[in-house]
Amino acid sequence: MNSSSSSKTIGIIGLGLIGGSLALDLYQKGHHILGISRAHQSCRRALERKACHQVSSDMELVRGADLIFLCTPIGSIISTLEAILPYVSASTILTDVASVKGVIVEKCSMLCSNFIGGHPMAGNARTGIEAAQYNLFRNAPYVLTPIETTSVESLEVMQDIIAELGAITYISDPYEHDRSVSWISHLPVMVSAALLESVNSKAEPEILELAKNLASSGFRDTTRIGGGNPQLGLMMAQYNQEAILDSLINYQQVLQEITDHIRKQDWISLETILQRAQSNRPDFLRD
Ligand code: NAP
C-alpha cells in the first residue's frame, strides 16, 4: 500500500455517529468501506444510506483492509482491537477515534505495532447510525497522537485520509492531548451538566417552570454538551480522570473568586474577569 490517497479498503467498527459519518464521507471519496456493528439494524441502515459496501457483525469482515477505524465507545476500544487482531495483516494500519488518548494509545500500541491514535474534534448530541452525517469533520481539527514507534507511512496515510475528510490535522503527545481536551471538551461537559443539574434541583418549582419557558439561545448554548450522550461523558471522566479533576479544581477556584467578588460587591474585580473572558474567547473560536 502506498501513502497516496488512492482508493483503499477501509474497515469501520462501530457504525454510530462518528463511525457512520466517517463511512459516509469515505464511501463518497471512492474507498471500499467494510462496516462492522453489533446491531443488525445499524448494519442494514449503513448499507441503505450508502455508508458501507459490505457490513457484518462478524469481525472477520475486516480481513484484507488497508486501514481500520475503531469507532466504538471509549470503554470498548481496547477489547475491539483485541477482537480484530486475528484478521489484521502486518501492513494494516489501525486507528481509533476515542475522545481520550493516553491510556488507549498505551494499551493499543502494545497490542499492535501499527496502531496510531486519533481524535476527530467534531460531533453532536445524537448517537447511532441515524445521527451520522456527511461533512461532519469538514474544517474541524483531527488530532493524531503518534508515538516513537509509529511509522512515517502510517502517519502519512492518516494525514491523507484526514485531508480527504476536509479536516485539519494536529499532532500531539497522547497525554498532552488529554490535558488539553480536558479544558476545552471534558470540563465543559461537566460544567454544562452541573448547570442543568443545579437549575433542576435547586430552583423552586414555580421559578423553575417560568425559567423553562424563558430559556432561550444563551441557555441552549451553555447546556448543549451537558445534555449530550451520558455514556460519553461518563467515559471521559473514567478514562481521563487525572486531567479532568485538575481542570475541575481550577474551575472551582475561579468560580469561588467570582462568588467572592459578587458577595463583596467588588464590581471592579468582577468586571475585570468578564472583560478578560470577552477578549480571550475569540482565541478559542476558529470562525
Ligand atoms: P455512538 O453514536 O453511540 O456510536 C458507537 C457505536 O458503537 C454504536 O452505534 C454501537 O453500534 C457500537 N457499540 C456500542 N457499544 C459497543 C460495544 N460495547 N462494543 C462494540 N460496539 C459498540 O457513539 P459516537 O458518538 O459515535 O462515539 C464513538 C466514539 O467516538 C467514542 O470512542 C467517542 O469517544 C468518539 N468521539 C465521539 C464524539 C462525539 O461528539 N460524539 C466526538 C469525537 C469522538 P451497535 O450497537 O450497532 O454495535
What is the residue with the minimal CA distance to atom 31 of ligand 1? 73
For residue 4, being part of any structural domain is answered with no
Q: What is the pLDDT of residues 133-173, one digit of tens each?
A: 999 999 999 999 999 999 999 999 999 999 999 999 999 99
The answer to whether position 28 is within a domain reads: yes
**Alpha carbon of 18 to ligand 1 centroid (Å):** 7
Distance 101 CA to ligand 1 centre (A): 15
pLDDT grade, residue 3 (50/70/90)? Answer: very low
Tell me the pLDDT band of 6, cut-offs 50, 70 and 90: confident
List, for residues 9-18, the tens digit of each pLDDT value.
Answer: 999 999 999 9
Residue 125: the pLDDT is 83
- Residues 127, 44, single domain; the answer is yes
Percent of the chain exceeding pLDDT 90 equals 95
Average pLDDT over residues 191-210: 96
Write 73-77 long-range contacts (CB < 8 A, 24+): 73/14, 73/231, 73/232, 73/235, 74/98, 74/99, 74/100, 74/104, 74/232, 74/235, 74/236, 74/238, 74/239, 75/235, 75/238, 75/239, 77/104, 77/108
> Which pLDDT belongs to residue 5?
55
Measured from the CB, is residue 232 less than 6 Å from ligand 1? yes
Q: Is residue 3 part of a domain?
A: no
40 domain-assigned: yes
**225 vs 185: CA distance, rounded Å:** 9
Same domain, 153 and 49: yes
Using a 6 Å cutoff on CB, does residue 128 contact ligand 1?
yes
pLDDT at 128 over 70: yes
- Which atom of ligand 1 is least distant from the CA of 79? 19
Which residue's CA is the nearest one to ligand 1's atom 32? 98
Asked whether 72 lines ligand 1 (CB < 6 A), one says yes
Confidence band (pLDDT; 50, 70, 90) for 195?
very high
CB of 80 closer than 8 Å to CB of 95: no
- Domain enclosing residue 239, as ranges: 177-284
Q: Are residues 73 and 206 in the same domain?
A: no
Give me the number of domains the chain comprises. 2
Q: Does residue 107 sit in the same domain as residue 213? A: no
CA 232 to ligand 1 centroid distance, Å: 8
- Buried b / exposed e along 26-53 (16+ C-beta atoms within 10 A): bbeeebbbbbbbeeeebbebbeebebbb
Domain membership of residue 248 (yes or no) is yes
